[in-house]
Amino acid sequence: MIGNNAPVWFGGDYNPEQWPEEVWADDVRLMQRAGVTIATVGVFSWAKLEPRDGEFDFAWLDRVIDGLHAGGVKVDLATATASPPPWLSAAHPEILPVTAEGVRLGVGSRQQYSPSSQVYRQYATRLVRALAERYGAHPAIAAWHINNEYGCHVAQSFDDESAAAFRAWLEAKYGSIEALNHAWGTAFWSQHYAEFSEVGPPRAMPSFPNPTQMLDFHRFSSDALLECYRAELAVLREVTPDIPVTTNFMGFFKPVDYWKWAKEVDFVSDDSYPDPADPLSPAFAAMTRDLMRSLRGGQPWMLMEQTTGAVNWRTRNAPKLPGENRLYSMQSVARGADGILYFQWRQSVAGAEKFHAAMVPHAGEETRIFREVTALGAELSTMGDVVGSRVASSVAIVFDWDSWNALEQAASPAQLVYLDEIMSWHWSLRALGVTVDFVEPGASVDGYSLVIAPALFAVPRSALETLAAVPARGGQLIVSYQTGILDENLHVQQGGYLGPLQAALGVRVEEFAPLAGPDLRGTGTAPVPTTAIRFGDTVRAASVWTELLHADDAEVLATFTEGLADGSPAITRRAAGGPDAQDAAGGTAWYVATRPDTATVYELLLDALGRAGIRPLLDGSNPDVEVVERAGTRWVLNFGRAEATVTVGDDTVTIAAHDLVRLPVA
């Protein structure tokens, strides 16, 4: 990432234009006190940098950057294009985004531009060029921060320019209208298009939209935002080829396919706002860190935004308790981050985020928040040894944006929540002290001894073949329900659900039977019942899903006990091998046709980890505690509100609430 030999980066978004200039010197003083090494400047400065069309005012920014530089603080300089100034949409209302219902969104908040607007891109790149030319040689500039949280409010726009761009995108993708007709399955419901000019985005319509039209519009919209990014990037590459570039991601963000985006940044950066009131937050945050690390194959990444205390955009906003800010920061470092930054440096006194906590709160420097910030800055300054180091993992979970979108479309067997499917596996692995990478479908998984594919719903056949090869080469493979159902066009996989995985797993899925509550009138509000499976001699709870399954060539580990699937296999295991597979000794494939309870998942995972030669570092009994190895250290973090005593490998350690210990790797 940012080339330096310094310790872990520490800092945050710095928006000096909100403050009178006399405050700026105090900002630098406090940054030094807090150990800040980098500030992200200019994220929302367009209206200040270009107060009228073509009139640039950089003098104030010169003073800001010079002041930071003099104070020893590096600058992550934003391109300031995230929020166009009011004059731009007043002059060019056609850049404003439009909802699926035809509502044109106006000024007063931020991000009011259509991703496909050429006018927007022209104005944005003109500003970027001016910034790059002015500051490209400034010694304070450590990185470029393009735009901000692409798509966070306007991920899709249905305006006419977007519709035209969508048509062009489709024509480039499909070549002929008949290829589109085939891919979209327009033979159904009389949707056949005679020519591309008849095609549009999925605006409000009478019933369920064509599923492939929906998915293609998701893909197009992600690409349209990416084109905005690329347009800025091209200017920066031309003017300042040596300065690394990033844009801040938002963790598991459905509208944008970060596998594709990550290829275009020099380092991944992420904005992360776990809810302190939610006991699932530590596990969800851990999963997010693992995704960020995985997006560029293990390269260290930067936590670009988090908060010191409470946010202000939930209905009710709990603060981080003492210790939690440090703990989430250390979780990030342990899971591969080389920088810890915040939104924002000094808490606003006006505007829509004035109740969002900051490094310097309203109450000033004599506060528990600023004390914690300062202590963390000091601690991170001692941790140069981790910078640049990698985190090793032998377990991979396949994660796929298309499957996410497709699985959560209406008109499905059951509206599942994709992240719940992913998290049900990641949560258990974390509780067992096993570190997980994420991989893109179709990517090589040769480096992993255990691969898990939960609800990998809609992928090219080749991606299923990649997984089917895992047990054949001696690896361990776990596949859960709703995997391999559709291909990349959302056509049912030829040759049966699971496609080429059928042979590897030794099973066939005949019919789905999602658990469902009474809903005669289709209101969708019925509670979902649970079910039970027989697992060896015991009966275990299971939830979400059942199906009619045939284990033609697999061992049955558990069976369903009621409903359509009564007596049918619920969990199967197939050992690879046999005459044609001499190199497959030890390879195994599990199929899990329901969501079992935690104890059952642990047993399955321990079996698979054992065969994979992976030793869990924890026993799963305290999911508040997690452990990760980086830079020769075991980071053991206790997110619980009580002291915890846990066995980590061969060591027993006691950790205070909201605290951590570091052990040498055994």
CB-based contacts of 306, cutoff 8 Å, min separation 6: 271, 272, 273, 325, 328, 329, 340, 341, 342, 343
Q: Which two tokens stand for residue 161?
A: 């320019």
Of 434, 478, 249, residue with least CA distance to 335: 434
Restricted to residues 218-237, the positions that interact with its own copies (CB under 8 A) are: none
Residue from 3, 51, 93, 536 touching its own copies (CB under 8 A): that is: 51
Q: Report in angstroms how near the CB of residue 249 gets to its own copies at its nearest.
A: 17
Nearer to its own copies, 76 or 149 (CB): 149
47 binds its own copies (CB under 8 A): yes
Restricted to residues 6-45, the positions that interact with its own copies (CB under 8 A) are: 15, 17-18, 44-45
414 binds its own copies (CB under 8 A): yes
Restricted to residues 248-277, the positions that interact with its own copies (CB under 8 A) are: 274-275, 277
Active-site annotation holds for 440: no
Q: Report in angstroms how near the CB of residue 315 gets to its own copies at its nearest.
A: 4
213 binds its own copies (CB under 8 A): yes
374 binds its own copies (CB under 8 A): no
CB-based contacts of 200, cutoff 8 Å, min separation 6: 163, 166, 167
Nearer to its own copies, 154 or 262 (CB): 154
Q: Report in angstroms how near the CB of residue 211 gets to its own copies at its nearest.
A: 6
Main-chain phi, psi angles of 30, to 5 degrees:
-70, -35
Of the CA atoms within 13 Å of residue 366, those in its CB half-sphere come to: 0
CA distance 409 to 574: 32
Host H or E run for residue 664: strand 659-664
Stretch that binds its own copies, among 124-132, 291-299, 406-414, 600-608 (CB under 8 A): 406-414
Of 3, 4, 23, residue with least CA distance to 15: 23
Per the residue annotation, which of 161, 305, 372, 629 is the catalytic one? 305
Q: Which two tokens stand for residue 509?
A: 């899925």
Residue from 23, 410, 585, 665 touching its own copies (CB under 8 A): that is: 410
Give the distance between the most distant pair of CA atoms in the chain: 80
Active-site annotation holds for 305: yes
Nearer to its own copies, 568 or 633 (CB): 568
Residue from 168, 318, 656, 665 touching its own copies (CB under 8 A): that is: 318
CA distance 269 to 337: 9
Q: Which residues of 106-115 are buried (b: 16+ CB within 10 A; e: fewer)?
A: ebeebbbbbb
- Give residue 573's Cα distance to chain centre: 31
* Amino acid code (one letter) for 320: K
Q: Report in angstroms how near the CB of residue 583 gets to its own copies at its nearest.
A: 32
Nearer to its own copies, 415 or 444 (CB): 415
Nearer to its own copies, 279 or 536 (CB): 279
Nearer to its own copies, 152 or 663 (CB): 152
Whether the CB-CB separation of 624 and 282 falls below 8 Å is answered with yes
Restricted to residues 461-520, the positions that interact with its own copies (CB under 8 A) are: 489-492, 496-497, 508-520
Nearer to its own copies, 105 or 468 (CB): 105
Stretch that binds its own copies, among 119-127, 228-236, 325-333, 366-374 (CB under 8 A): 366-374
The SS3 assignment for 78 reads strand
Per the residue annotation, which of 50, 149, 440, 488 is the catalytic one? 149
Restricted to residues 284-313, the positions that interact with its own copies (CB under 8 A) are: 284, 309-310, 312-313
Lay out the site mask for its own copies across 547-566 (x = CB under 8 A, - = otherwise).
-x--------------xx--
446 binds its own copies (CB under 8 A): no
Nearer to its own copies, 93 or 632 (CB): 93
Q: Report in angstroms how near the CB of residue 166 gets to its own copies at its nearest.
A: 12
Q: Report in angstroms how near the CB of residue 483 gets to its own copies at its nearest.
A: 15
Angle CA 536–542–546, to nearest 5: 100
Nearer to its own copies, 136 or 251 (CB): 251
Q: Which two tokens stand for residue 387?
A: 């910078």
Beta strand segments in 521-641, E: 531-535, 538-543, 547-550, 555-560, 569-575, 588-592, 595-596, 625-630, 633-638
* Amino acid code (one letter) for 51: P
Restricted to residues 104-123, the positions that interact with its own copies (CB under 8 A) are: 104-112
CA distance 246 to 221: 20
Q: Report in angstroms how near the CB of residue 97 gets to its own copies at its nearest.
A: 7
Stretch that binds its own copies, among 218-226, 262-270, 359-367, 449-457 (CB under 8 A): 359-367
CB-based contacts of 20, cutoff 8 Å, min separation 6: none
Restricted to residues 647-666, the positions that interact with its own copies (CB under 8 A) are: none
Restricted to residues 509-548, the positions that interact with its own copies (CB under 8 A) are: 509-520, 522, 524, 526, 528, 548
Q: Report in angstroms how near the CB of residue 28 gets to its own copies at its nearest.
A: 19
Nearer to its own copies, 15 or 424 (CB): 15
Pairing of strands 633-638, 588-592: unpaired
Place of tokens 């369903």: 560
Of 289, 344, 269, residue with least CA distance to 311: 344
Stretch that binds its own copies, among 99-107, 220-228, 373-381, 621-629 (CB under 8 A): 99-107
Q: Report in angstroms how near the CB of residue 532 gets to its own copies at its nearest.
A: 15
CA distance 233 to 222: 16
Q: Report in angstroms how near the CB of residue 500 gets to its own copies at its nearest.
A: 16
Of 72, 71, 80, 73, residue with least CA distance to 134: 80
Nearer to its own copies, 53 or 133 (CB): 53
Restricted to residues 146-185, the positions that interact with its own copies (CB under 8 A) are: 152-154, 184-185
Restricted to residues 58-97, the positions that interact with its own copies (CB under 8 A) are: 80, 82-87, 90, 97
Restricted to residues 323-352, the positions that interact with its own copies (CB under 8 A) are: 348-352
Q: Which two tokens stand for residue 450?
A: 């255990």
- Give residue 244's Cα distance to chain centre: 21
Compute how many residues bind its own copies; rule: CB under 8 A.
129
640 binds its own copies (CB under 8 A): no
Nearer to its own copies, 179 or 585 (CB): 179
Whether the CB-CB separation of 81 and 158 falls below 8 Å is answered with no
CA distance 40 to 2: 13
Q: Report in angstroms how near the CB of residue 640 gets to its own copies at its nearest.
A: 14
Whether the CB-CB separation of 637 and 433 falls below 8 Å is answered with no
Place of tokens 């391109």: 79
Q: Report in angstroms how near the CB of residue 204 gets to its own copies at its nearest.
A: 5
Q: Report in angstroms how near the CB of residue 492 gets to its own copies at its nearest.
A: 4
Stretch that binds its own copies, among 47-55, 499-507, 530-538, 629-637 (CB under 8 A): 47-55
Nearer to its own copies, 6 or 515 (CB): 515
Q: Which two tokens stand for residue 254?
A: 């459905």
Whether the CB-CB separation of 334 and 635 falls below 8 Å is answered with yes
54 binds its own copies (CB under 8 A): no
Sequence length of the chain is: 666
Q: Which two tokens stand for residue 86?
A: 């009011």
**Which residues are designated catalytic?**
149, 305
